[in-house]
Structure 1
Amino acid sequence: MLHARVIPGPNIKWNPSYETYRARVESLSNMDILRPQKVPEGFPETVDAPWVWSTTDFEDDSKHIVSLNESEVVEVERALAFFKGLPGDLGPGDVSRATFPLLNLRSKLEGVAKNLHLGFGFNVIRGLAPQRYSSFENIIIYLGLTSYIAEKRGVQDSSGSMIIHVKDLGRQIAHSEMRQSPYARNAQPFHNDVCDILAMYVQEQAAEGGESYLASSAKIYNEIAATRPDVIHTLADPSWIFDKHRTPAYWNTRALLFNYTGKGPGFCFSRRPITGSPTSPRGPGVPPMTEIQAEALDMVHFTAAKHQISMRLHRGDIQLINNVAVFHARNGFQDRVSQKRHIIRLWLRNENLAWKTPEGLEKTWFEKYGDSERRKISVWNIEPGATRERVIFRSDSCS
């Protein structure tokens, strides 16, 4: 009986190596390769929009931090009490603007929504004290506040999870050294989730490390388009192979870069299904990427690193990111017994302001936000934790 083998491909890792990247750039530059001298038809030569920015644009934290004052926190707590006082056995899926009324705070939160979609693309809401509330109350507050920013919630995995608790479960799950990233403490390279708005509510920050890194997708596009328009062609080509980590081998293909109607280029990908990772090695029988694709993939990462901003989120912060306009990454971290990093993640969509989903992502977006089988079994996990299968098995991960 013949067994499938891992087909050799470029020397590229999930966590990028700058030395390997530069060597590949040099090697390919010496080859006689036909390189387009202009960006693909329909793509702009440059993006001129508020979501084009670099490191020096955010030296002042006050530009992106939206602080809740004492009276606004009181209003949030009154809305929580209103929700809890409604008749019936209401749960997280019942939270909406109608069941969590914020008459005064509404305009501030709607301003955040406009900035996420039409401005520089990210904010941090600061001022909550999650230790004052129960786990259930924190979830309700989180959903209540974000319902004024992007009310539709996406399903995050094949088990129907509407909430993911990002927390290192290494001590909780036996023999889980090779666990998936939401449940590990390793650093993560620049990527996008599979959503419109990514929300992260910090229940506790790491004892050490865990910094959040953001980078403007349009800034990355502009720099690559100006110097290497051929790479834009590579990124926008729909032949990229995404390993679905199944047996027998199964994969799908799509582009990494899309031209969003009225907004311009935006990315949507993470490296794991493309390169494989220590926890999800590339499957036997799955075709490898090309050397040209490997160059393009690492070029995006290192251009992002060049223009990144770094922020250390505090307990109670809610970080909100326009996922298609802004890349995100994470530094590795260390917990202590008395201080363990814990973040609650939501995938959100504002139907009125969302960037129009490109054709190449419509099927994926239906799975997350449409009347899909996954959404029909919606599960609201109030407490952190996950099954061993969810922590270990790569085919059940969320992106």
Structure 2
Amino acid sequence: MKRLRTYNSANAWLSAEMVGNYSWIHQFSAPEIAELELAAIKVLDNEIINLSCEDFELPTLDPILQSIRGDVVDGHGFALLRGLPVQQWSLELTARVYWAIGSRIGLPISQNRVGNLLGHVTDMGGEADHPNQRGHQSSDALAFHTDIGAEIVGLLCLSDARSGGESALSSAVAVWNTLVTEWPEYAKALTDTFFVDRRNEIVPGQDPWYELSIYYPTEQNLISSFNPSFIRSAQRFADAPRLSKLQNDAFDKVNELANDQRYKLEMDFRPGDIQLVNNLVVLHSRAEYEDWPEMERKRHLLRLWFAVPGGWPMPEQLMARHGKDLNSGRPGGVNLEQGATLNTPLTAPALRT
């Protein structure tokens, strides 16, 4: 078996290195919040989808957000931006503030087949394992994974749950390094090609699955795409190769290591916080949660998926998963069904049964 390499990079962190190290947290100051609020107020009459970086004047925050972007892309792979007064703002204003910040991070891409660029992570009564639904539409626990179409994932917390819903991160690179050192047979198995379920988000000419590896050990960077629940649900297709015991055991070992306290970084995620995660190198998870009975208090996050112009060279399978985004030349988001157009809704789309 060809010897696989480890990676000595900033994104190969262990949790002890991050706990008590607050370099990855930015607390918005009052002047910064005022700058964001003014920039968003100026474009309240404009449709969000038509707004770009040039529409928001952020002279104070621009260098700060540029530094944060650099750390998410080429540093340890995540950041927490804290303290937006979302409970004092209208949703229309909050969404534009979020879009302004996002415009400094990357280019938004589609998160589903109806073309949502602005996604809603809230319990719609869905089930994480349902073949037509996705985990963000449920209150289920979500095991460590990467999202299915982004280079960077952004989450803005509008309101939190009555209990549960805690967020955690784990370095896919640190997990890989341990696999290579202690379980090389698992590391090798995770470079195999797997069938991944599209969960019925299919456009004409597409198969109901696509092919991906979980780890891509490239010369420059280690890239990960870890979503074993979508791989396992693809076993419902007759033409999907059957998973071996070694492959299933390798999935479980990644999850076991990611949950180990040496690797797992638990994040205090509050209303007004934005979590930015490099989806190529950092795994994220969510605990099961119980919601408030009042609709207006339900746990609700706004999500953005970003392509990163000028980002890392990408494996061909990741470029082919949803095709190339024409605006950025980077991997695109979920393909749109016939008749759908890109949009930025302020409410969650209906649940598909």
Shorter-normalised TM range: 0.7 to 0.9
CA distance in structure 2 between the partners assigned to 1:250 and 1:145 by the alignment: 35
- Structure 1 residues 195, 53: CA separation in 2 closer, same or farther (over 3 Å shift)? same
Equivalent position to 1:108, from 52, 64, 85: 64
- Structure 1 residues 324, 149: CA separation in 2 closer, same or farther (over 3 Å shift)? same
Q: Verify: 1:158 aligned to 2:84, yes or no.
A: no
One-letter amino acid of the structure 2 residue matched with residue 342 of structure 1: H
One-letter amino acid of the structure 1 residue matched with residue 187 of structure 2: I
CA distance in structure 1 between the partners assigned to 2:122 and 2:54 by the alignment: 31
CA distance in structure 1 between the partners assigned to 2:17 and 2:83 by the alignment: 24
CA distance in structure 1 between the partners assigned to 2:59 and 2:322 by the alignment: 31
CA distance in structure 2 between the partners assigned to 1:330 and 1:378 by the alignment: 28
Equivalent position to 1:374, from 336, 340, 346: 336
Give the conservation status (yes or no) of the 8 Å contact 1:261–1:355: no
For the pair shown, the structure with the greater C-alpha radius of gyration is 1
SS at match of 2:190: helix
String of CA shifts for 1:6-43, please: whole Å, max 9, x gaps. Answer: xxxxxxxxxxxxxxxxxxxxxxxxxxxxxx3722xxxx
> Mind listing any 5+ residue stretches in structure 1 that lack a counterpart?
1-35, 40-44, 393-399
Alignment of 1:128-139 (within 5 A): 128-139=84-95
SS at match of 1:73: helix
Q: Corresponding residue for 2:37?
A: 77
Give the conservation status (yes or no) of the 8 Å contact 1:273–1:282: no
CA distance in structure 1 between the partners assigned to 2:214 and 2:59 by the alignment: 40
Identity level (%): 23
1:386 deviates by 2.0
Give the conservation status (yes or no) of the 8 Å contact 1:170–1:183: yes
1:368 deviates by 5.6
Alignment of 1:296-335 (within 5 A): 296-306=250-260, 307-335=263-291
1:99 deviates by 0.5
Give the conservation status (yes or no) of the 8 Å contact 1:192–1:324: yes
SS at match of 1:115: helix
String of CA shifts for 1:312-337, please: whole Å, max 9, x gaps. Answer: 20001000000111000111111112
Give the conservation status (yes or no) of the 8 Å contact 2:154–2:303: yes
One-letter amino acid of the structure 1 residue matched with residue 182 of structure 2: T
CA distance in structure 2 between the partners assigned to 1:170 and 1:253 by the alignment: 29
Give the conservation status (yes or no) of the 8 Å contact 2:160–2:299: yes
String of CA shifts for 1:173-228, please: whole Å, max 9, x gaps. Answer: 9xx9x963211111001110121100000000111111111001110111001112
One-letter amino acid of the structure 2 residue matched with residue 52 of structure 1: A
CA distance in structure 2 between the partners assigned to 1:65 and 1:327 by the alignment: 18
> Mind listing any 5+ residue stretches in structure 2 that lack a counterpart?
none
One-letter amino acid of the structure 2 residue matched with residue 212 of structure 1: S
SS at match of 1:388: coil
Q: Corresponding residue for 2:180?
A: 225
1:258 deviates by 1.1
CA distance in structure 1 between the partners assigned to 2:199 and 2:34 by the alignment: 47
String of CA shifts for 1:277-333, please: whole Å, max 9, x gaps. Answer: xxxx85252443111111111111111112111112000100000011100011111
One-letter amino acid of the structure 2 residue matched with residue 202 of structure 1: C
SS at match of 1:214: strand
One-letter amino acid of the structure 2 residue matched with residue 316 of structure 1: G
CA distance in structure 2 between the partners assigned to 1:60 and 1:340 by the alignment: 31
Q: Corresponding residue for 1:11?
A: none
Equivalent position to 1:185, from 128, 139, 142: 139
Q: Corresponding residue for 1:198?
A: 153
CA distance in structure 1 between the partners assigned to 2:12 and 2:195 by the alignment: 28
Q: Verify: 1:38 aligned to 2:3, yes or no.
A: yes
CA distance in structure 2 between the partners assigned to 1:228 and 1:212 by the alignment: 27
One-letter amino acid of the structure 2 residue matched with residue 65 of structure 1: I
SS at match of 2:87: helix
Q: How many residues are paired up?
A: 333
CA distance in structure 2 between the partners assigned to 1:142 and 1:235 by the alignment: 35
Give the conservation status (yes or no) of the 8 Å contact 1:195–1:365: no
SS at match of 2:144: strand
CA distance in structure 2 between the partners assigned to 1:387 and 1:80 by the alignment: 28
Q: Verify: 1:272 aligned to 2:235, yes or no.
A: no
SS at match of 2:55: coil
One-letter amino acid of the structure 1 residue matched with residue 343 of structure 2: V
Give the conservation status (yes or no) of the 8 Å contact 2:211–2:321: no
Give the conservation status (yes or no) of the 8 Å contact 1:155–1:368: no
Q: Verify: 1:343 aligned to 2:301, yes or no.
A: yes
Q: Normalized against structure 2, the TM-score is what?
A: 0.87
String of CA shifts for 1:80-125, please: whole Å, max 9, x gaps. Answer: 12223xxxx6211222221011011111111100110111111110
CA distance in structure 2 between the partners assigned to 1:188 and 1:61 by the alignment: 26
Q: Normalized against structure 1, the TM-score is what?
A: 0.77
CA distance in structure 2 between the partners assigned to 1:270 and 1:374 by the alignment: 21
CA distance in structure 2 between the partners assigned to 1:100 and 1:250 by the alignment: 40
1:273 deviates by 1.8
One-letter amino acid of the structure 2 residue matched with residue 346 of structure 1: L
Alignment of 1:44-55 (within 5 A): 45-55=5-15
CA RMSD, aligned part only?
2.6
Equivalent position to 2:79, from 123, 129, 134: 123
- Structure 1 residues 368, 131: CA separation in 2 closer, same or farther (over 3 Å shift)? farther
Q: Corresponding residue for 1:92?
A: 48
CA distance in structure 2 between the partners assigned to 1:228 and 1:37 by the alignment: 14
Give the conservation status (yes or no) of the 8 Å contact 2:151–2:279: yes
